[in-house]
Structure 1
Amino acid sequence: MTHRSTRRTVILATGAAALAAGCSTYGDGNGSGSSSAKASAGQELAKTSDIPVGGGKIFNAQKVVVTQPKKDEFKAFSAICTHLGCTVGSVADGTINCPCHGSKYRIADGSVAGGPAPKPLPAEQIEVKGNSIRLA
């Protein structure tokens, strides 16, 4: 007995495959947002002078964003958006911004400032010694 595909089964199968592929595009999907497994402790990320006051810098390879909300106050957060797992794309005007769906996080504490993000960016541990910022 042969099984004939109908137009409906082909469309359903194609749609399910596209949906599964689309979901994997935005990260690992585990929702943890932690980059600890991807980043090496002790690794220098930047010099303190590389992080602008009132702004920050994204380290894509380590999936970490480092900010300087006030002079000599450095914070670090996961660079993985808590909405769908995109990597944040910029730091401007006091927020860390995700290019995928417009989520924004405050540079001082990683809390949600706007967009569809359901929760804050998880904090990451850094050490500031002299003019060096390292992953803890």
Structure 2
Amino acid sequence: MPARPSASRRTVLRGAAAVPAAALGLAACSAPGGSASDTPTAPVDLGAASDVSKGGAKLYRDHNVVVSREANGTLKAYSTICTHARCPINELQGTTLICSCHGSRFDAMTGKVVQAPATEPLPELPVKDENGRIVAGPSA
């Protein structure tokens, strides 16, 4: 049986160089600046109800929540953890949420995807106006 050729030094070095590059690529898909599980697990007072105007939205980065108010005054809240790669969304332009990781866009009024790569809408969270304060999260 013929002997199997051993890997050259060059082949070994190329493989070693590829490992950190692959790890870097995976790190780019992780949630920068926070954990993807940072959405409220208990009711959170987000601030004055008057901070969200009719037809508008406000992003609460510290809680990974966006709150919008429909024209009829109804409040809606959504998690701002991107459904594509679990990155915290940190930009709101008008009523469009923009994920800086891969460019997914969501409608802050409905949570629906308006631009891929995300395909799943943002999860809705319970929200209410409690004595002039916006309270969002489980059991709100």
TM (norm. structure 2) is 0.74
Cα–Cα, structure 1 residues 44 and 117, in superposed 2: closer, same or farther, change >3 Å? same
Q: Distance in 2 between matches of 1:99 and 1:23?
A: 11
- CA-CA distance at 1:86 after TM superposition: 2.1
- Which deviates more from structure 2 when the two are superposed, residues 107-116 or residues 89-98? 89-98
Superposition map of 1:1-136 within 5 A? 6-26=12-32, 35-37=39-41, 40-41=42-43, 43-135=44-136, 136=140
Cα–Cα, structure 1 residues 125 and 59, in superposed 2: closer, same or farther, change >3 Å? same
Larger Rg: 2
One-letter amino acid of the counterpart of residue 24, structure 1: S
- CA-CA distance at 1:65 after TM superposition: 0.9
Identity %: 31
Instruction: Give ranges in structure 2 of 5+ residues lacking alignment.
Output: 1-8
Q: Distance in 1 between matches of 2:96 and 2:84?
A: 16
Q: Distance in 2 between matches of 1:95 and 1:17?
A: 31
Instruction: Give ranges in structure 1 of 5+ residues lacking alignment.
Output: none
One-letter amino acid of the counterpart of residue 30, structure 2: S
Q: Distance in 2 between matches of 1:54 and 1:102?
A: 24
